[in-house]
Chain A
Amino acid sequence: MRKIFNLALGVVTSIGGFVEVGSISTSAQAGAEFGFSLLWAIAAATLFLAALAEMAGRVAAVSKRSVAAAVRERFGFHFQVIPLGAEFIIDTLLLAAELGGAAIAVKMLTGIGFQWWILPLGVAGWVVLWFGNFSVIEDGIGLLGMVTLSFVVAAWRLHPDPSSIAGGFVPSLPHHDLTRYAFLTVSIVGATVSPYLLNFYSSGAIEEKWNEQDLWINRSTAFLGMGFGSVVAMGCLVTAAIVLGPQQVKVETYEQAAQMFVPIYGRWAVTLFALSLGIGCLGAAIEIALNAGYVLGQALGWTWGIDKKRRDVSRFVAAFTLALLLAVVIATLGLDPLRVTLISVALTVVIMPVVVLPFLVLMNEERYAGRHTSGPFGNSLLGIITILGALMAVVVIPLEIFGG
């Protein structure tokens, strides 16, 4: 019974924690500019993410090693320094973007300029990390994040045509702006398949002491949680398509994106959008900072864990503090949070092959996957993700320049 409850909680928290600054902005832009036609990109990206997360969880449950620890041991520091360095840079940029997104949300609610909110939000995030434990942080973020279901409710109440929605799940070429379409496709994948999510997921499996008996919980949490979570991003895309599409709005600020809620929620529109954006972004910011501690601690062999006494994990604490501090500085410099988001999403795509490739090796070795090594299906999926990841890594920078 307790395991069923844990599973349900895991699924709910995955849904509540799914959307953040990257998925909201890319989904809103995709919907406003291309209608429902990029729904397939969210579905495909979610399938990739869920498959990789399930594998990361499996390695953690079987070998008691997170992805970062397994990569260091199996491939050595010379290889790892590339994904590790890239992940720390991307984490810090994404963290700055999330803090910026959360600060804009508070600005929408209070009218006070967003730069003033970045430091207080960074401090609030640090206080949660200092005093919280893993379940408080994960469950708290997930449960508060249920407010993001307002995207799904809005889409539902706009009564989209089911056959048009179904058509969006079939990849197709647009009638206009092919470059922009390709750019948004790649951005959706980059915003969804974040490396931080994979290591955070496997670290969570270790924090919660999963073992081989928990593999079904792992599979269900990864596929059901992230599958349902993607419905929130799809709700954002559909709402933007129906409301902003006919107005020819090209979403360049979060204030513009908030307008998608007006026909459904009226005078509550901005409040609900701001709460969804704010909670989604601050929750993601806390998880990203925590992951900076995880990834450095695991790769470099420090004692780590958010459930341990802080005095016993001082380097781990220093790492998440440093990531938050750097992000606060970047966000306070006044860079446009939406632009920082797109840069970090593009960088995520650039390093995707280096992140995915180790999975192909780890999932086929008994030392890391025990009796649960990948079968032909898992290996084919990893092969497809690696090849697509490599192709996208080549085109993302030109697309960012010409399509973004």
Chain B
Amino acid sequence: MDVVRDVLDKSLVDRDGREMGRVDGLLMEQDSGQPPRLAAILVGPAALGFRLHPRLEPAATVFERWLGIERERPVRIDFAEIDDIGSRIRLRLAIGETAVAAVEQRLRGWLVKLPGSQ
């Protein structure tokens, strides 16, 4: 499998088909003496920023902190949690078990105060 072609930038859904964003980055790990292995996919503006320029990662993190989001950024999802790689990447997890929706939830907290948001 070509992970850049088949995984990176693809749309991500949870086990119930709910949208979780896109695969914004890939993380490889290497233990001493072992070959490098694909460890996780990364989701969130910090991962996307890093791909464009390393300095954009802290900028994205500052923006998310400004929104009041402190949880694990970017979100890291173990490669082992991938259930199926097709036109979309399906995970074994439910969206609520990760922090991918943190920005959406923060903005929702403000939006629901407006009439007509329901």
B92 within 8 A of A: no
Once the chains are docked, how many angstroms separate the CA of A40 from the CA of B4? Answer: 44
Once the chains are docked, how many angstroms separate the CA of A311 from the CA of B112? Answer: 6
B116: A residues at CB distance < 8 A: 130-131, 310
A312: B residues at CB distance < 8 A: 108
B4: A residues at CB distance < 8 A: 76
Residues 65-101 of A contacting B (Cβ, < 8 Å) = 69, 72-73, 76-78, 81
- Contact bitstring B83-118, A, C-beta under 8 A = 1, else 0: 000010000000000000001100110111010111
A69: B residues at CB distance < 8 A: 11
Residue of B at shortest CB range from A303?
Answer: B19
- Given A301-B22, A310-B111: A315 touches B9 (CB 8 Å cut-off): no
For this complex, into which size category does the number of interface residues on chain B fall? 20 to 34
A388 within 8 A of B: no
Task: Please tell me if the beta carbons of B51 and A77 are within 8 angstroms of each other in the complex.
Answer: yes
B8 within 8 A of A: yes
Count residues of A near B (Cβ-Cβ below 8 Å).
Answer: 23
Residue of A at shortest CB range from B8?
Answer: A76
- Given A77-B51, A300-B22, A301-B19: A314 touches B10 (CB 8 Å cut-off): no
SS of B interface (majority): mixed
Task: Please tell me if the beta carbons of A314 and B107 are within 8 angstroms of each other in the complex.
Answer: yes
- Given A73-B9, A76-B9, A309-B118: A315 touches B103 (CB 8 Å cut-off): yes
A116 within 8 A of B: no
Once the chains are docked, how many angstroms separate the CA of A78 from the CA of B56? Answer: 14
A339 within 8 A of B: no
Once the chains are docked, how many angstroms separate the CA of A73 from the CA of B112? Answer: 32
SS of A interface (majority): helix
A302 within 8 A of B: yes
B52 within 8 A of A: yes
Within 8 Å by CB of B111, from A301, A302, A314, lies A314
Within 8 Å by CB of B51, from A72, A78, A367, lies A78
Task: Please tell me if the beta carbons of A72 and B22 are within 8 angstroms of each other in the complex.
Answer: yes
Residues 31-83 of B contacting A (Cβ, < 8 Å) = 48, 51-52
Task: Please tell me if the beta carbons of B10 and A73 are within 8 angstroms of each other in the complex.
Answer: yes
Task: Please tell me if the beta carbons of A301 and B21 are within 8 angstroms of each other in the complex.
Answer: yes
Task: Please tell me if the beta carbons of A301 and B51 are within 8 angstroms of each other in the complex.
Answer: no
Residue of A at shortest CB range from B4?
Answer: A76
Residues 1-28 of B contacting A (Cβ, < 8 Å) = 4, 8-12, 19-22, 24
Task: Please tell me if the beta carbons of B104 and A302 are within 8 angstroms of each other in the complex.
Answer: yes
B52: A residues at CB distance < 8 A: 77-78, 81
A318 within 8 A of B: yes
B87: A residues at CB distance < 8 A: 63, 367
B9, B107, B117: most-surrounded residue (chain A CB, <10 A): B9
Task: Please tell me if the beta carbons of A302 and B21 are within 8 angstroms of each other in the complex.
Answer: yes
A315: B residues at CB distance < 8 A: 103-104, 107
Once the chains are docked, how many angstroms separate the CA of A130 from the CA of B116? Answer: 8
Once the chains are docked, how many angstroms separate the CA of A384 from the CA of B52? Answer: 32
Once the chains are docked, how many angstroms separate the CA of A301 from the CA of B20? Answer: 7
Once the chains are docked, how many angstroms separate the CA of A367 from the CA of B48? Answer: 25
Within 8 Å by CB of A317, from B9, B24, B51, B111, lies B111
Q: List chain B positions with a Cβ less than 8 A from chain A.
A: 4, 8-12, 19-22, 24, 48, 51-52, 87, 103-104, 107-108, 110-112, 114, 116-118
13 additional A-B pairs beyond A314-B108, A314-B110, beta carbons within 8 Å, are: A72-B22, A73-B9, A77-B24, A77-B51, A77-B52, A78-B52, A301-B12, A301-B20, A301-B22, A302-B21, A302-B104, A311-B112, A317-B111
- Interface pairs A-B: 6 shortest CB-CB: A301-B22, A314-B107, A301-B21, A314-B108, A310-B117, A311-B117
- Give me 26 A-to-B residue pairs in the complex whose CB atoms sit less than 8 angstroms apart, sorted by A's number: A63-B87, A72-B9, A72-B22, A73-B9, A73-B11, A76-B9, A77-B48, A77-B51, A130-B114, A131-B116, A300-B22, A301-B21, A302-B19, A302-B21, A302-B104, A303-B19, A309-B117, A309-B118, A310-B111, A310-B116, A311-B118, A314-B108, A314-B110, A315-B103, A315-B104, A367-B87
Q: List chain A positions with a Cβ less than 8 A from chain B.
A: 63, 69, 72-73, 76-78, 81, 130-131, 300-303, 309-312, 314-315, 317-318, 367
